Structure 1
Amino acid sequence: MASTTASSPGRAPRPPLNTVLPPLLLGTATFNTQYVANPHAMPYRDIVARAIALGVTGFDTSPYYGPSELLLGEALHALMNPTPTPSNPNPTPLQRSDFFLVTKAGRIAATEFDYSPSWIRYSVLRSLQRLHVPYLDLVYTHDCEFVTPGEVLAAVKELRRLRDEEGVVRYVGISGFPVNVLCDLAEMIYKETGEPLDAVLSYGHLTVQNRRLGLPFVEGGGKGQADVEGSPLVRLKKAGVDVVLNASMLGMGLLTSKGIPVTDDTGSPLAKWHPSPPELRLACMKLAELAAAAGERLESVSLRWSLAEWARVAAEAGVGVDFTSPGSSEGRKIGVAVCGVSSTPELEETVAEWRGAVSSLGQEEDGSNDKYGPARQKKVLSLVREQLWPALGSWLDYAWDSPGEGFVNTRKDSNRGVVPDDGVIAAYEKAKRSRQSR
């Protein structure tokens, strides 16, 4: 389904996304007040620089994530324009081709969406400016379940026009929470345009608590033929989607040692906006107790399980990417994960767990002393299957409604398509004329 295609006459062919997308991306939704009190005080430059040093060359952001695009852009710009120091008078600048940049468009605020072509174009051009780059590798329509299918189709068409006519976007996809909606929209877009989506980003649906995206392929999920044929990944594959990405493996903070307070009067940023019901929060706190009794942190167990299962499941379903392990000459397909962190130690643990998960695929316990190797894989799978899933009971595979009951898009009809006169478009048009006159 995915093939090498030209973006526009005279433009270099685009290889299939599955051949160029990194298998692990740093998600920067955490560079936002929804997760931390003051994202500007985060060590965001150190996190991004350390990610590059560890080989994590993909970054996922959105204009909806507060200052995330600005902070990520500042960090990348500093790496692309390094300051000489006495110890390193000739630093090597990061090149634009050295990293893969993903953002989104269409979601403005918690209850405000504008998927009109003019807003989508404005949002993309503003992202270019904030991120200090001439093009974006992949752009999604953000949280597409909140608008009509017709609006999603119009936005995708505009993103493809920006790809083909203006060359500022390379690949196009959609993102959202309910997997059935993602499948419906992917099928509709393929049917209406004759061109499949490059990517679909799902979040919160391949976790220790909610396995819906990967059923029935996940370990312990069963494999009846009818279940396989109607499963989300099979539907997406049939709709021609090249790559499916898995994000929010900790359930947006549910699957952590601290958990999410049942009430929002604790001062926790998460407690105020997280859509989970109180009973689910309590159930996940019980998981943290079980993990601690086994000498583990719930976030470590949850992260390892999701990374390992998604790496395997996405490949099995045909929606993974090409990957060759360092030091190996043999490539394989694995699933793409998007992980958010708020510190460099969290980043380093995430990368270590990911490397261990990938290296353990298809291997039996080998007696290795590597704390992240196959022995850990076996321990995590056993803990999840024998203790965590039974403890969840009816909350296993539960997903809240999105949008919730009574949702109304607060973007007024008269304002849809109206873009700010803030100089973003004027600056882009001026730069384009300058390039054309050379």
Structure 2
Amino acid sequence: MEAQESYPVDVAAIREDFPILERKVGGDITTPGESPDDSLPLVYLDNAATSQTPKQVVEAIVDYYYGYNSNVHRGIHHLSQEASVAYENAHDRAAEFIGASGGREEIVFTKNTTEAMNLVAYAWGLNELGPGDSVVLTQMEHHASLVTWQQIAKKTGAEVRYIRVTDEGYLDMDHAKELIDDSTKMVSAVHVSNTLGTIVPVSELADMAHEVGAYVFVDGAQSVPTRPVDVEDIDADFFAFSGHKMLGPTGIGVLYGKKEILEETEPYLYGGSMIRSVTYEDSTWEDLPWKFEAGTPPIAQGIGLHAAIDYLDEIGMENVQAHEEHLAKYAYDELSAFDDIEIYGPPGDDRGGLVGFNLDGVHSHDLSSILNDHGVAIRAGDHCTQPLHDELGVPASTRASFYIYNTREEVDKLVEAIDDARQLFA
């Protein structure tokens, strides 16, 4: 491995916190977690889908289950009080991490970004949208946004409009100005494209939306894990991200909403925990954010997310961003050297920490399978952006995505494995 000073972060020290990176993979899958003798070292380049989890996060979750496992907000006993404090502190920590000065009242825990999107679409959209209204999206939206608003529009009679993506992979801001008008009630945009790596100017979109009295919802699933984010600087009305893409556990997502908007929005789910009083005739709701967290919430996952945020903060999000962009540019430059590789999205020095591409004559699924034979884990398919792939004129693409524990050496192994695929299909 290269000299440590050549990286923006201490990769060697970070990798020691991730036992899974010592695994070998390949061969027939028999018992999960076990590797055949002839398997190869894992090169994990599928971080845009799910990042790996450090020991510190796992230990925080284990500490909860071994030390104070209990339901929250429902018991007077000691364990319930401990769990409640830890769970509430996790909300405060998430608020601090993304610059939400309203604290826990502006932070709703969901199970992922998709549920956060659905919460707003159903709780706010069904009540506020109607015929003559428009929702403006981008052509690079993840299905979590596109499908959700598409279906809400069908239920309400609203229109969905899509801001074009330029041939270079950028959002066409002139087209955005044309689409966002007095009929617009919501602008929902991805912050960093999970397919192109495009960094969307969401602050400008927020300004456009607010000029016509519309709200803006930012999908931060690919941005919060990889760069400093300040929701108040963006002026987002809603913002969502997922724990499993930022070293945290699965089953935990975060919805940020401006307090005044959340207070006016009706609950999405009903039941225990989210009520203040109940009679046979009617019910009233608990204070924020609990009125949006019906039933037993993701307690262990929230505690794990808190630990993941602490881990990232210790590294520094500016350093996380620098390392990701360093590797993305290196991968972009290496892959660009081959005439038979088509790369999608902006140049290597102006993108998030991923590179989407295709090798001429080889379907992305076949390429992924060959890379897997070399121990290299990447993503192949439409990445939950089917309409965008239709715009690109390809059914699927291959995506390598990087995080704080990846190295240039692993990018080199990716390139070597692609060369083997090239020879196989020659």
Same fold (TM over 0.5): no
- Give the TM-score, by structure 2 length: 0.32
